Structure 1
Amino acid sequence: MKTVLCYGDSITWGSDAETGGRHAYEDRWPNVLQKALGPSVEVVSEGLRGRTTAYDEHLAACDRNGVRILPTVLYTHAPLDLVIILLGSNDMKPAIAGTALAAMQGMRRLVEIVRLNATRDGTAEPPAVLIVAPPPLCETASPEYAAMFAGGVEQSRMLAGFYADLADIEGCGFFDAGSVARTTPIDGVHLDAANTRAIGRALEPIVRMMLGL
């Protein structure tokens, strides 16, 4: 049995911009991936709305700092064969970080934490890492979201390039989710069900290759 951890934000959690709630279980990309891979692989979904790569968000009722929470999550689900990290959209908020460079630096720290493999699970090697760039933000007529992510559309378009370079340097896998999915103009950040499912389907062959299946 192989185990894959999907570590992300509202895109992984399955936020539905149209309803303000959550996409159906079968529409969330980690569950689409699980179904495609079959019973020989366990896909663990760890999505939290508002999660950043490495930055605090003091308006939330929970800890959204991805760097601070990741060690606990790694311990919880060890041993792991692959960690998929899909984060960066929330870093585009000016009040959080506001730049693609900052998101890349946060992602780099997340990769370092996975590589430490300090989970005492008896494995000799840390899990592989697959960095996934989120689909770029898009313009929205929502006053709150437009203000919340001011300047984020342009910066988010730079994420894939930064992440691809980071993956090359660190020896990680890389996938640009923007190549198969588009954010919805309802809020400019989240995905509809079809685009969410598309990420899970697109990741299947990459995950199979990284797991040696």
Structure 2
Amino acid sequence: MTGTRTILCFGDSNTWGADPQNRGVRFPADVRWTGVLRKELGDGYDIVEEGLPGRTTVWADPIDGIMSGKEYWPTCLLSHRPLDLVVIMLGTNDLKERFSVSALDIAMSTLSLAGLVKTTFSRPGITIVPQVLILVPPPIKETGLFAGMFKGGEEKSKQLGEAFAMLSPYTDASIMDVSTVIVSSEADGIHFEAEQHRKLGSAVAEKIKSMLVEE
């Protein structure tokens, strides 16, 4: 491999690394799935973490403010270029009752972010357009502190895999349903325990290796 390959991981609190056992606490860098990914890929890869608790795909949050991933997306992409690969894992916060959107809406919104990658990089002076990997988040559980906020979200979250599969023919992005690899915590129903971060980081590393093979 020639040079360093840069991978941008764009997500919400599960990319930020929220500890489900301790509200407001962030897992250490080497525990977060992005840190595991960095270790698994080894030398020659630079991992950029862009995780924001509360971030949605495209929806403006009337309570928490500037949480729309779409609003920040072009700026984020251009500030970190050149990029070889973009990993998007969003949709969990879209399940909040306040947004009243379907699983299909969430899948379409995520694919719209993937489509913006090519649009954003289609400008003079930019020669590298990154590949896109979408991670479909695992189902949530309506339990604990977040149960009321995510009322009705558990059932919709179980439909996400099917919704993304239905739309996969209409995108150039690779799609990986991580519900086959990890589960959400029983503690708060939303975030990932440390062991799940380890599993996710390892699985994503294998997927990325298959995407960024030498030509």
Normalising TM by the smaller chain, what interval? over 0.9
Per the alignment, residue 173 of structure 1 pairs with: 174
1:15 aligns with 2:42: no
Per the alignment, residue 139 of structure 2 pairs with: 136
Matches within 5 A, 1:27-176: 27-60=31-64, 63-118=66-121, 120=123, 122-140=125-143, 142=144, 144-176=145-177
TM-score w.r.t. the length of structure 1 is 0.93
Indicate conservation of the 8 Å contact 1:98/1:152, yes or no: no
State the distance in 1 between where 2:148 and 2:124 align.
44
TM-score w.r.t. the length of structure 2 is 0.92
Query: Per the alignment, do residues 160 and 59 of structure 1 end up closer, same or farther by CA in structure 2, a change over 3 Å counting?
Result: same
Cα distance per residue 1:58-109 (max 9 Å; x no partner): 322x521001111110011011111100000000012024421221121121
State the distance in 1 between where 2:78 and 2:204 align.
24
State the distance in 2 between where 1:47 and 1:173 align.
20
* Number of residues of Structure 1 aligned to a counterpart in Structure 2: 210
Indicate conservation of the 8 Å contact 1:117/1:125, yes or no: no
Cα distance per residue 1:107-143 (max 9 Å; x no partner): 1210121111337584435211101001110231x1x
State the distance in 2 between where 1:121 and 1:177 align.
36
Indicate conservation of the 8 Å contact 1:75/1:119, yes or no: no
State the distance in 1 between where 2:62 and 2:127 align.
37
AA aligned opposite 1:186: A
State the distance in 1 between where 2:125 and 2:5 align.
15
State the distance in 2 between where 1:34 and 1:128 align.
18
Q: Percent identity?
A: 37
Indicate conservation of the 8 Å contact 2:82/2:128, yes or no: no
Q: Which contiguous aligned blocks of 4+ residues in structure 1 show a shift greater than 4 angstroms? A: none
Give ranges in structure 2 of 5+ residues lacking alignment: none
